[in-house]
Structures are given as C-alpha cells and as structure tokens.
C-alpha cells in the first residue's frame, strides 16, 4: 500500500516526464519554415542619387536581412515586431559610376529565404543627356530628377562657359549652360560643370565643337528588335553626305537645304537573339573635321517571342497550351489595380491551370494546377514583362519557363 508521500512523488515524476516530452516536441525556430515570409521594397528600381529604399517585412518568425554583395550599400533595421515582421532601410549610397548596378536583399527566417533585387541606375541615365554638347553660343540643357536641393558651378572652362542657373530644389530640374563665344578656333574644346547633392559631387562634361560642325541631338540610339522608322535631328553649317555601315538600316530621305534638318531611316526587325550595332556617318567634303558618327544599337529578339500560342510553358518540364492536349477553353480577367489572371481549362477531365498576379512590370506570378478534382500546391515564379503585341503578352521567369497570355 502506497502512502500519501509516495503518491506525491509519483505525481511529481509523471509531471516532470510530461514536461520533458513536451519540450522535446518543440521545433527550434531555426529549423522551422515560416508560414508568412514577405518583403515589400518601396521600389526595386532607383536612380543614381537615391540613397534610401524603405522595405516592409511580413514574417511570423524572427528574421534578419543581408546583402548578396556587401561591398556596397548597407542595411539598417528600423522596427522589429515579433511574430509579424518589421521594417528596414537599404542604403546603397550614391552611384557615381556611369552604369547601373544591382544588389540583392536576402531575407532569412528559420529555414525560409526570400530574395529581392534592387537596381540603381548610373549617371549615364540620371542626366539626360549625360553631357553638354554646345554649338556656337546657343543654350543647351540637361534634365535630371534631383533627390534634394543642389548647387552647380563651372569648374573647368570658367573663361568661356556661363551657367543660366546655379542652384535648385528637389524634383525635376533643367540645368542650362551656354558658351560666351562660338569657338572659332580649330577643333573642339572641353569644360566641366560640377553638381553637388548634399555631400555627393558629380561632374558633367562639356564639349563645344569648332565653328564648322555637323551635330545631332543624340549620337547613341537604342531600339527594340522590331522593325521601325526613326529620325535624326541634325544641325550643321556645311554640306554633308550620309553613309550607313549595315544593310539593315536604310535611309529614306535626304536633307533639306536648310541649317537644320531631319534625317529619316528605316530599321529592319532583328529576328536574331543577339543585339547588333551599326554606325551612321555624316561627312563633309573639304571639311574633314566636320563629321558626325551616330551609333545605332538594336536589341535581339527573345526566343520566347517565337511562341505565339497562349499558354504556360516549362512548368516543371510540362507545357499547358491553348488548343493542345484538350486545353480548349480560356478565361482572363484584369482587376482595377492592374493585376491579371489567366486560366486554361480542359472540360473532359474537369482540369484547370491558373496564373495570377501579372502586372505591367516585374511580377510574382502564382501558378495553380487542378487536375481530376485534385489541386496541387501553388508555385510562385518571379517574372518580367518582355513584350506585348497583337493582343498577347509574354511574361518570362527563365529561358525555359514563361507565360503567353491573351490581354
């Protein structure tokens, strides 16, 4: 027969065993997969002078964030809300290089991981155009979207350059500059204008050609793969001839006998996947220094554009194409906020494939397959809108996985 003391000891041991067993069943957070893991940047494409991107996090576990390329930019955690998420800042600093750069935010929580790529433009696209090209004493301008107030000074060429304005506020601006004389010397001359945004100073080259010139508004042109017509605005004070280095660009008119003209050209469609480049040359007999070279680049055609039948291609190695294999019905819808949904249906087996979330730019597209009454787990693809034409849109996740939808 057990006394009361023995009974209490037995209860204590049983409770201890149950407590240990309960603790052993808990999975450490580092081994768990979050039920909610979402990262929402304020923007995924910023200009060269933007130095902060606010990012919201939705997550039911403890989380942290790091940069794929820690050599530039930093992350500053602003708020942490246990069980729901928080906010942080991505601080890339000013991009004083000419070309765009990319860095990827990596959000981690337990066994989960999510990536978002931020693209920061370079100075080559921040200033439009990138440099001042002066002719005579005519005024020239450069436009830019200032992230803050700014000041400008002429740092090279003070004796022949004059700014029309030297400061401005945040927002869209135009900086105007002119030469004080038409440069009747032989050859062009160079100067520099410096613009300061806060603690960042960038330089804008200035070139003034000699008096006898042939000028164009743009000397580098880029086009999509499509065939099209384009025009070049020229300024000149000598007669000139035009020659083209490739047969896929044709000249369609001659210049008028004025001091300002518009040259028209026909660009053939590029059906190859690689980009191509050609030069248009303007030359003047007897004036070898009065010449102009315009570089024309045309993008290659993405091979997915050769698929013109609506459908979902390369989904775990399988294609779902309208009009093929019994997929003979389709449905499409666009909501007020711009999200698109597209569905294919196979009536004889009560099957459907649905993609949703497509937008005008980059989109996270959801794919769901329902077959013979069974709904498979959702798949999510990061896509970009490649092209739209003739009522179709091409969204690309990779070279193998893409979507052709009816608009």
User: What is the token pair recorded at 367?
Assistant: 């794919």
Q: What percent of the chain has pLDDT over 70?
A: 90
Q: What percent of the chain has pLDDT over 90?
A: 66
Question: Which has the closest alpha carbon to 266: 279, 248, 280, 281?
Answer: 248
Question: Which has the closest alpha carbon to 160: 183, 133, 184, 129?
Answer: 183
Give every CB contact of residue 145 below 8 A, 6+ residues apart in sequence.
47, 126, 171, 172, 173
Question: Which has the closest alpha carbon to 188: 209, 205, 206?
Answer: 209
Does the pLDDT of residue 283 top 70, yes or no?
A: yes
Exposed e or buried b per residue across 336-348, where buried means at least 16 C-beta atoms within 10 angstroms of its C-beta: eeeebbbbbbbee
User: What is the token pair recorded at 360?
Assistant: 């005008």
Does the pLDDT of residue 215 top 90, yes or no?
A: no
Give every CB contact of residue 206 below 8 A, 6+ residues apart in sequence.
131, 132, 134, 156, 157, 161, 177, 190, 191, 192, 193
- Residue of higher predicted confidence among 13 and 153: 153
Question: What pLDDT does residue 91 have?
Answer: 97
Phi (first) and psi of residue 284, to 5 degrees: -125, 130
User: Which domains, from first to last, does the chain contain?
Assistant: 30-120 (2.60.40.10), 127-208 (2.60.40.10), 214-298 (2.60.40.10), 303-406 (no CATH)
Structure confidence by residue, pLDDT tens digits, 127-144: 999 999 998 899 999 999
Q: What is the CA angle 69-75-78, rounded to 5?
A: 165
Structure confidence by residue, pLDDT tens digits, 349-400: 889 999 999 988 889 999 999 988 899 999 999 999 999 999 999 999 999 9
pLDDT bracket for residue 58 (50, 70, 90): very high
pLDDT bracket for residue 10 (50, 70, 90): very low
Structure confidence by residue, pLDDT tens digits, 150-185: 999 999 999 999 999 899 999 999 999 999 998 867
Q: What is the chain's mean pLDDT, rounded?
A: 88
Does the pLDDT of residue 5 top 80, yes or no?
A: no
- Residue of higher predicted confidence among 10 and 278: 278
Does the pLDDT of residue 9 top 70, yes or no?
A: no
Q: Are 290 and 212 in contact (CB under 8 A)?
A: yes
Does the pLDDT of residue 74 top 80, yes or no?
A: yes
CA distance 211 to 194: 26
Question: Which has the closest alpha carbon to 297: 369, 219, 375?
Answer: 219
pLDDT bracket for residue 186 (50, 70, 90): low
DSSP letters, 144-181, are EEESS-EEEEEEE-TTTEEES--EE-SEEEEEEEEESS
- Residue of higher predicted confidence among 189 and 17: 189
Q: Are 296 and 221 in contact (CB under 8 A)?
A: yes
User: What is the token pair recorded at 41?
Assistant: 């940047």
């Amino acid at each position: 027969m057990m006394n009361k003391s023995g009974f209490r000891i037995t209860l204590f041991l049983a409770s201890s065993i149950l407590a240990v067993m309960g603790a052993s069943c808990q999975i450490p957070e580092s081994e768990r997969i979050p039920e909610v893991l979402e990262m929402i940047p304020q923007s995924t494409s910023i200009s060269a002078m933007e130095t902060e991107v606010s990012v919201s996090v939705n997550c039911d576990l403890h989380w942290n964030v790091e940069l794929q390329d820690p050599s530039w930019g930093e992350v500053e955690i602003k708020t942490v809300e246990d069980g729901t998420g928080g906010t942080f800042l991505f601080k890339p600093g000013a991009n004083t290089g000419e070309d765009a750069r990319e860095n990827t935010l990596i959000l981690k929580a337990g066994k989960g991981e999510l990536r978002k790529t931020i693209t920061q433009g370079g100075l080559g696209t921040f200033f439009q155009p990138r440099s001042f090209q002066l002719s005579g004493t005519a005024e020239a301008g450069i436009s830019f979207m200032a992230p803050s107030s700014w000041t400008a000074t002429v740092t090279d060429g003070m004796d022949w350059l004059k700014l029309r304005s030297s400061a401005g506020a945040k927002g869209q601006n135009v900086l105007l500059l002119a030469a004080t004389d038409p440069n009747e010397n032989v050859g062009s001359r160079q100067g520099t204008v410096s613009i300061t945004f806060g603690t960042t100073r960038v330089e804008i080259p200035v070139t003034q050609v000699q008096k006898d010139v042939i000028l164009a508004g743009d000397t580098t042109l880029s086009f999509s793969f499509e065939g099209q017509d384009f025009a070049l605005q020229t300024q000149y004070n000598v007669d000139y001839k035009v020659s083209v280095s490739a047969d896929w660009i044709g000249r369609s008119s001659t210049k008028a006998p004025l001091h300002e003209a518009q040259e028209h050209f026909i660009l053939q469609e590029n059906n190859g996947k690689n980009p191509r480049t050609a030069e248009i040359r303007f030359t003047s007999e007897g004036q070898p220094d009065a010449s102009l070279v315009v570089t024309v680049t045309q993008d290659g055609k993405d091979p997915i554009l050769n698929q013109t039948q609506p459908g979902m291609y390369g989904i775990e190695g399988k294609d779902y194409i309208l009009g093929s294999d019994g997929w003979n019905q389709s449905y499409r819808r666009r909501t007020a906020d711009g999200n698109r949904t597209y569905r294919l249906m196979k009536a004889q087996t009560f099957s459907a494939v649905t993609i949703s979330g497509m937008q005008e730019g980059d989109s996270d597209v959801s794919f769901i397959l329902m077959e013979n009454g069974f709904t498979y787990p959702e798949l999510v693809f990061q896509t970009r809108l490649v092209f739209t034409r003739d009522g179709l849109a091409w969204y690309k996740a990779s070279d193998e996985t893409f979507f052709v939808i009816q608009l």
